[in-house]
Structures are given as C-alpha cells and as structure tokens.
Amino acid sequence: MRLLDIGKVTPGCLLEHRGDKPPSASWFISRALKLFERWWDGWGWHLSIAWKKAGNGWYILEATGDGVEVNFYRNKYLFTDTRIYQWFATPPTRKVMDKFYREHIGKKYDVAIYFWTALQYLFRHFWNKRIPRLLDDRYTCWELVFEFCDEMGKPLGSKYDCPIITDFVKAMT
C-alpha cells in the first residue's frame, strides 16, 4: 500500500526514489524499459528501506556504488522525490531487521548484474522465459529490497528471478 503521509512511515517501509533527469544513464535506461512496459510511468529508479527514524530524518538501508550501507537523510530531502510503500501488514521486528543488517551491511555493489538484468528482460519480453538470477553476495538497490522482503517473509517475487524496477511497481499496485 502506498503511503502519502510521511508521518506514518515505519521501519521496514519501502522507498522508491525518483530517477535522475536527462542526460543520466538511469534516465536513458528507464526510457528504453518504458518502450516495452508502456503501463509503467518511468518515475522511480532507486529503491531503499526505511531503517530507523532519527529526529528530523531517517536512516535508510540502501545499495549504492559504495555497497550496502545505511545513510541518514533529512525528511525534507528524503521525501521530496520519494514514494513510500508499506508492504508488510505489521512492520518487521527490530530483531529480524538487525539480523538482515548484519548479514548484508558492507556487501559490494553488483555492477555486473546490469548486463544480466538486461538479458533477463529480453528473455521475458520476447520469449516469455526467465533466466535464473545469479545468487551472490553483491547487491543493486533492487536486489537488496527484494532480498529484504524475502527474508522478512513476504517476497516481492521469486528469489531466482533478476528483479527489475517494474517488478517492484507491479507488486506495489
């Protein structure tokens, strides 16, 4: 369920951040994806997890070029271009979130998955087949959010499929 009130954000909420403006790589890639997924608005590109509220902001767990990390953002900045989703009926407990954190923090960013994801998408779109996801210990933001939901007991999709931003949007609607 999409939340519109940032005051209702709880740890474990999923965050979809607006993609970059042109001429960024994410903008061009999202436009290419939109050619095949015409229903998709192409708005979001980065995903993260609301981790812990702190004063006038939130610590969020995300996979960036530096790897899996927790970063602090002030509410005004964080929620300016963010869609908030409450995927879990009840927020995950701090105990299971801490376990996930310990197992994933510091893992490397998965640059190689971009080629694999593009290949996966072509197989899905043209041959209606899926190719298996490479299960390794590197993560993109999409993979991290899908892994989080899987480990919290409410998967967004199959652990063995390469997650794509449109899979996330479909699951949220």
Rounded to the nearest angstrom, the gap between the alpha carbon of residue 137 and the centroid of all alpha carbons in its chain is 16
Q: Residue 14 is part of which domain span?
A: 2-172
Q: Which tens digits make up the pLDDT trace of 11-23?
A: 999 999 998 877 7
Of the CA atoms within 13 Å of residue 111, those in its CB half-sphere come to: 4
- Average pLDDT of 106-123? 80
Q: Which tens digits make up the pLDDT trace of 57-72?
A: 999 999 999 999 999 9
Residue 160 pLDDT grade (very low, low, confident, very high; cuts 50, 70, 90): confident
- Average pLDDT of 90-114? 92
Q: What is the CATH number of the domain that holds 75?
A: 3.90.1720
Number of domains observed in the structure of the chain? 1
Which among 42-46, 47-51, 109-113, 165-169 has the top mean pLDDT? 47-51
pLDDT value of position 29: 80
Residue 135 pLDDT grade (very low, low, confident, very high; cuts 50, 70, 90): low
Pairwise CA distance, residues 31 & 75, whole Å: 29
Q: Which of 83, 84, 61 minimizes the C-alpha distance to 72?
A: 61
DSSP string, 60-123: EEEEETTEEEEEEEEHHHHTTTEEEE--SSSPPPHHHHHHHHHHHTTPPB-STHHHHHHHHHHH
